[in-house]
A and B are shown apart, each in its own frame.
Chain A
Amino acid sequence: MTVVPTVALTGVTKRFRGTAALDDVHLTLGPGITGLLGPNGAGKTTLLRITATVLTPGAGEVVLFGTRPAGPEQLAAVRRRLGYLPQEMGHPRGFTGFGFVDYMAVLKEWTDRAARHAEVRRVLELVDLDGVAARRVSALSGGQRRRLGLAQALLGDPDLLLLDEPTTGVDPGQRVTLRQVLSRAGERSTVLLSTHQTEDVAALCDRVVVLDGGRVRFDGAVADLVATAAGRVWLADAPDPAARASWRTGTGRHRVVGQAAPAGAEPAEPTLEDAYLLLLGERARTTGVAA
């Protein structure tokens, strides 16, 4: 018996004006939460767009739920089973929070009004927005709008959930709510979560994919990525300019991530962030290049 993976990307490549946003990406996803890490411009958004069927790859093959969505019917069938939160998510003018999710639910073929409203209420409660559902979207905070975007992605409990930076702008308290929602979704659905936050990945994901320059640099268990940093993280009394990274922590000591132990340093327990820094080096800190 073979289990059909939810997502199977083979040799996916996408170029924009000559530069490769994605370069020969192979990725297979099944139920559970996979974190997608990488600096800005690494191709995370392009990967999510292609997986969400809103962008066609230049080369390579995208197979979702065992089918290549070629014709309009197959495309609609695949889209019925996926929820997508784009990185840039605006809202048409004049909607209340409820009205916007209701609008998205209509696009997702919830034609019966009573059933649709019940579903909209359900997802708004999940992301803890039921209290402000009657407020205009323009009056909501950035974090609330982000959660509204997540709510529409959750409509109909999709088998595949593609989330492009769902926690951006969300305050720490609400982030815990979101983690609960996502971990519950990950129990039965396939969730691909792009983020800048290594803490989100450490808290939620069993698997992590690191993209850099359009290529997959790491794909495996979160614990395995953390293990690559074993023996390369220390606590020292002084900063170490030779290290990959070193910074003063709250305790007054300096955390040093690098190849060699500085003098008088003691080994420290590595985190996902340490491993990420070691994997990508300087580029892990690159910012400002749009995907």
Chain B
Amino acid sequence: MRAGPADEDAALLAALADGDLAAMRRLYERHAPWLSARLLRRCNDPDVVADVLQDSFLALWRGAERWRGDGEVAAWLWGIAVRRLVSRLRGRRAAVVLPLEEEADPGTAPSAEEVALLGVEYGDLGSALLRLSPEMRAVVQATVLDGLSTRQAARLLGIPAATVKTRLHRAKAHLRRELAGGLA
């Protein structure tokens, strides 16, 4: 039986503890591309993104044994990376782009499949999300999708924590209404 990709990640992580640089290189090749793409959508400064990549993989290298061995290595890595991004962005407001700011033009509207996928994961969140204002969407993305705390999200978005709370509260109420309406 062929080992799945998740098992391969776990095996590579285990090798890191022995100082295996080749395993580190493999993990980097497998995860740095998507991670950098996702980070670049939250911060438009490639230097900051490169710093965050470096921090995240070094944290992986030095703390591989802290991985509990359940779930996806990718999700764990994202958790590390987004927190590193937040701490790197302290006092660097100019480098940040508001995430999900741009509206999709009609030509690149999400396909039914794409929306359906998000529907699978989060109820019919996709279409409801689309109807949120960009500011509220940014808050939902940072907290719900990126897994940041209110304080961290506030730092990432450059707004007060209280504002994050009210926007999130309003967005949730809005989404509940939308989803309930969709079901009815």
Contacts and interface: CB of A to CB of B under 8 A. Distances in A.
Q: Check A-B contact in the complex, CB < 8 A.
A: yes
Interface of A: 96, 131-136, 139
Given A133-B21, A135-B19, 14 more contacts: A96-B19, A131-B21, A131-B22, A132-B19, A132-B21, A134-B19, A134-B20, A134-B21, A134-B24, A135-B18, A135-B20, A136-B19, A139-B18, A139-B19
Contacts, number: 16
Contacts of B20: 134-135
16 contacts: A96-B19, A131-B21, A131-B22, A132-B19, A132-B21, A133-B21, A134-B19, A134-B20, A134-B21, A134-B24, A135-B18, A135-B19, A135-B20, A136-B19, A139-B18, A139-B19
Q: Which 3 A-B pairs have the closest CB atoms?
A: A135-B19, A134-B19, A134-B21
* Size class of the B contact interface (CB-based, 8 Å): under 10
A136 to B, nearest CB: 7
B26 to A, nearest CB: 13
A85 B20 CA distance: 27
B89 to A, nearest CB: 26
Interface in B19-64: 19-22, 24
Nearest to A97: B19
A104 to B, nearest CB: 19
Contacts of A136: 19
Contacts of B21: 131-134
Interface string B134-152: 0000000000000000000
A139 to B, nearest CB: 7
Interface in B90-146: none
B117 to A, nearest CB: 39
Contacts of A132: 19, 21
Contacts of A134: 19-21, 24
A276 B77 CA distance: 62
Contacts of A131: 21-22
Nearest to B21: A134
Nearest to B22: A131
A136 B17 CA distance: 11
